[in-house]
Structure 1
Amino acid sequence: MIKVLHNNVCSKSRSILEHLDENNVAFEIIDFVENPLTAMELKTVLKKLHMPASEVVRKNEPLYKEKFASQELSEDEWIAVLLENPSLIQRPILIKGEIAMIGRPIENVKFFIDN
């Protein structure tokens, strides 16, 4: 089963759920805004993505531009920022076993669920 880190206000995240549903792919929704991740959960996701925290930050968000764009933060500091501001986390993130991906573009999602 695929776990989907989801933010319901995100149209791309909703469209991925729709795609999974239309293709009869079993998935579990984890709304990380309503039910924030713990530090350990976030670190586990980052490890599965093979990315540092700074690479999953939504850099087009006004909050990022206003507060964080000019800062040089460590990995632990970025993790703290993401835990305090889950809306800054790229979405959706799909997790299958020990691997994960940011769910864009849709072609990558199709490859991910088929393999």
Structure 2
Amino acid sequence: MITIYHNNRCSKSRNGLQLLEESGKDFKIVKYLEDIPNEKELKDIIDLLKIKPIDLVRQNESIWKSNFKGKDLSDADIISAMVEHPKLIERPIVVNGKKAVIGRPSEKILEII
């Protein structure tokens, strides 16, 4: 099952959702600002993306700049920050089995569906 971690207020996320709808494939939507992934779920997503936790952080968000920027944070600290402040999570994320992408640009989603 394909899963999109989605924020409807984000145009890139809406574009990714539209691409999935047009694909005709079954998928589920996780509104991650409401249904916040826990630390294990985030770690699993990061592992599928084959990135470091910091690469999933929206570092231009004011929450990041005022609370975390410039601090010596471990990967676990960064994951905890994303759980505490899900707005920091880059979007959209699409997971399909053992593959995942950050849908920026949206066309990257086509690589795994």
Instruction: Tell me the residue number matched to 1:33.
Output: 33
Q: How many residues align?
A: 113
Q: Which blocks of at least 5 consecutive residues in structure 1 are unaligned?
A: none
Percent same amino acid at aligned positions?
Answer: 39
Gaps of 5+ in 2: none
RMSD: 1.2
Distance in 2, matches of 1:23 and 1:32, equals 22
Number of the residue aligned with 1:101: 101
- 1:71-92 deviation per Cα after TM superposition (whole angstroms, max 9, x unaligned): 1200110111010000000000
Matches within 5 A, 1:20-99: 20-99=20-99
Which range moved further: 48-57 or 17-26? 17-26
Structure 1 segments of 4+ aligned residues over 4 angstroms from their partners: none
The two structures have a TM-score, normalised by structure 2, of 0.92
Is the CA contact (8 Å cut-off) linking 2:6 and 2:91 kept in structure 1?
Answer: yes
Deviation for aligned residue 1:104: 1.1
Q: Displacement, 1:23? A: 2.6
Give 3-state SS (helix, strand or coil) of 1:51's partner: coil
Question: CA shift at 1:106, angstroms?
Answer: 2.3
CA distance in 2, matches of 1:13, 1:46: 18
Moved more, 2-11 or 75-84: 2-11
